[in-house]
A and B are shown apart, each in its own frame.
Chain A
């Protein structure tokens, strides 16, 4: 019972997150993905995304 109440509260508080918080969240999501593709200093990630980094003119090598 009590866990139900807690999860319901969690859901309702999630649904009332302000639009600003939600759009900033989406912006951070986009930035994290771009970091992974363009900047992540792991050799395997660099090699996989190599041609993308060059083509988008991200600093590479």
Chain B
């Protein structure tokens, strides 16, 4: 069954690409997140309950701890990040494989590993570059527009650029114009932006440090995402021909 083969391959590819992404991320991306968290402006704390709280030491704690469950820093946090990365890899691989399968079954696409790398670049542009032009990757401590608005625009940017790149790649002649229109659409609408300053920290020196970290973060996360997507594209193309659409596995 086609569905089952796509899901099975997506699980496998998600695991491998998620491992790769976690390895790169733990070297170059996570340290920047941790550094930025040191400067996060915590909500004014509610007066501690008498005698039950060691007031002084608590201020350096991650502010999430007081609101809801979260993994402890260190190994536990890394493992949850690994799990989330693998799940994201599974989701991306399932989407890539289903589009690849449909286009190859229709005779529109004819995948190879090299073309798979090109699909990976397309995925990188659709899921990272295009939404990132309007909403740059963020480090903790950035003051941005309301989350709902950003998520809506992010989704629009991803879907519109994905459809646009696909149309540019596969449509004939003048129909490619439609692809350009799709890619331009989210930017004509415009990404939501906060009216206030980017960083709310009161100290100008800290704001300078955070701006520097932010620039490093955009480069580091870009490199990590590109590697992630190249792995996803190549592995999905390989699995498509080897497993998903292989006649040996296609029952009746």
Contact = CB atoms under 8 A, between A and B. Distances in A.
A27 B105 CA distance: 15
Interface of A: prevailing SS: helix
B95 A48 contact: no
A30 B93 contact: yes
Interface residues of B, number: 58
Does more than half of chain B's interface fall in helix, strand or loop, or is it mixed? helix
B99 interface: yes
Interface string B44-83: 0000000000000000000010011111000001001101
Interface in A5-61: 14-15, 17, 19-20, 22-27, 29-34, 36-39, 43-44, 47-61
Interface string B11-54: 00000000001000100011001000000000000000000000
Contacts of B231: none
B84 A52 contact: yes
Contacts of A39: 151
Contacts, number: 152
B161 interface: no
A27 B95 contact: yes
A61 B77 contact: no
B38 to A, nearest CB: 15
A30 B252 contact: no
B139 interface: yes
B87 A54 contact: no
18 contacts: A20-B102, A23-B6, A23-B99, A37-B88, A43-B67, A44-B69, A47-B71, A49-B84, A50-B64, A50-B81, A51-B25, A53-B84, A55-B29, A55-B225, A56-B88, A57-B131, A57-B136, A60-B138
Given A23-B101, A36-B87, 7 more contacts: A15-B252, A29-B7, A29-B94, A33-B94, A49-B87, A51-B30, A57-B225
Interface of A: 14-15, 17, 19-20, 22-27, 29-34, 36-39, 43-44, 47-61
Task: Please list the 9 inter-chain residue pairs (A to B) with the smallest Cβ-Cβ separation, ordered nearest first.
Answer: A30-B94, A47-B70, A43-B68, A34-B91, A52-B84, A33-B91, A57-B137, A59-B150, A49-B84
